[in-house]
């Protein structure tokens, strides 16, 4: 049996927003709805649901609460937010065609699909190579990476990181199962690579360009004086 509670819509709480992945203040959009006598094991009393909104990203979240009995402690209120298991979002500054498979790889990893995560991380890496000027016609990822390092598009250090991501991706696609630890490392390396190429290097260039512009303006002004 489902009962709409009569309490006014004033419910607020804090929790990790599944979308922001940060502690946020959350406010109710609806009154609570209760499911009485749920058959889920260990639950005492009704399960109460509300739809909340994250006050930061404004996304909707399903909130569930119920009580359980803990021996030697008594009643304990349990709170859950859904969707759960969402991965950390990939930075918006990373181009979409790389960001999407990278996010997909994180999503696979959060759901323990490690071989799939390794393969999709490799796909994101290959798209990164093409974005930096590697040939689409060249089907071997190792040759694309070699081309980039030889033409100064990536450093030797980035090449080594990328090769590790590629190797884990190859393992994910072939006969043996890949280890979750290796996939976690590969995703960290891909994060490091994309952060360096699409965020830090452009940011450093921006600072240098601005400083150069200021210097130039100063020189022009002193020349005019
Ligand atoms: Zn949020």
Q: pTM for the whole thing? A: 0.71
pLDDT digits (tens, 9 = 90+) for 176-222: 889 999 999 999 999 999 999 999 999 999 999 999 999 999 998 88
Instruction: Please tell me the predicted confidence (pLDDT) of residue 1.
Output: 47
Q: How far is the CA of 7 from the centre of ligand 1 (A)?
A: 25
Q: What is the mean pLDDT of the chain?
A: 90
Compute the distance between CA of residue 53 and CA of residue 162 in angstroms, rounded to an integer: 39
Q: How far is the CA of 21 from the centre of ligand 1 (A)?
A: 7
Instruction: Please tell me the predicted confidence (pLDDT) of residue 182.
Output: 95
Q: How far is the CA of 61 from the centre of ligand 1 (A)?
A: 9
- If one compares 43 and 94, the residue with the highest pLDDT of the two is 94
Question: In order of start, what are the domains of the chain with their CATH numbers?
Answer: 2-82 (no CATH), 96-213 (1.20.120.330)
Neighbouring C-beta atoms of residue 198, cutoff 10 Å: 18
Going by C-alpha positions, the residue among 212, 207, 168, 195 that lies closest to residue 88 is: 195
Q: Above 60 in pLDDT, residue 2?
A: no
Q: How far is the CA of 26 from the centre of ligand 1 (A)?
A: 8
DSSP state of 91: P
Q: How far is the CA of 12 from the centre of ligand 1 (A)?
A: 14
pLDDT digits (tens, 9 = 90+) for 11-68: 899 988 988 888 999 999 988 899 987 787 788 889 999 999 999 999 999 999 999 8
pLDDT digits (tens, 9 = 90+) for 100-118: 999 999 999 988 899 999 9
Instruction: Please tell me the predicted confidence (pLDDT) of residue 6.
Output: 53
Contact of 134 with 154, CB cutoff 8 Å = no
Instruction: Please tell me the predicted confidence (pLDDT) of residue 4.
Output: 54
Q: How far is the CA of 188 from the centre of ligand 1 (A)?
A: 23
Going by C-alpha positions, the residue among 102, 94, 96 that lies closest to residue 119 is: 102
Contact of 172 with 115, CB cutoff 8 Å = yes
Return phi, psi of residue 176, to 5°.
-80, 155
């Amino acid at each position: 049996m489902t009962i709409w509670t009569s309490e006014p819509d004033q419910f607020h709480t804090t929790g990790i927003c599944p979308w922001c992945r940060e502690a946020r203040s959350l406010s109710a959009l609806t009154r609570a709805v209760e499911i009485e006598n749920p058959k889920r094991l260990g639950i005492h009393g009704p399960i109460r649901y509300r739809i909340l909104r994250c006050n930061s990203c404004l996304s909707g979240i399903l909130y569930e609460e119920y009580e359980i009995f803990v021996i030697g402690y008594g009643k304990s209120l349990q709170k859950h937010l859904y969707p759960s298991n969402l991965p950390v979002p990939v930075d918006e500054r990373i181009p979409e065609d790389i960001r999407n498979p990278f996010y997909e790889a994180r999503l696979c990893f959060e759901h323990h699909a490690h071989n799939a995560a390794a393969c999709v991380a490799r796909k994101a890496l290959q798209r990164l190579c093409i974005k930096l000027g590697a040939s689409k016609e060249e089907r071997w990822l190792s040759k694309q990476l070699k081309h980039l390092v030889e033409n100064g598009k990536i450093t030797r250090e980035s090449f080594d990181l990328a090769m590790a991501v590629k190797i884990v991706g190859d393992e994910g696609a072939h006969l043996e199962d890949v280890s979750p630890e290796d996939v976690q490392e590969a995703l960290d390396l891909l994060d490091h690579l994309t952060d360096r190429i699409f965020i830090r290097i452009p940011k450093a260039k921006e600072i240098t360009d601005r400083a150069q512009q200021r210097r130039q303006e100063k020189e022009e002004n002193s020349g005019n004086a």
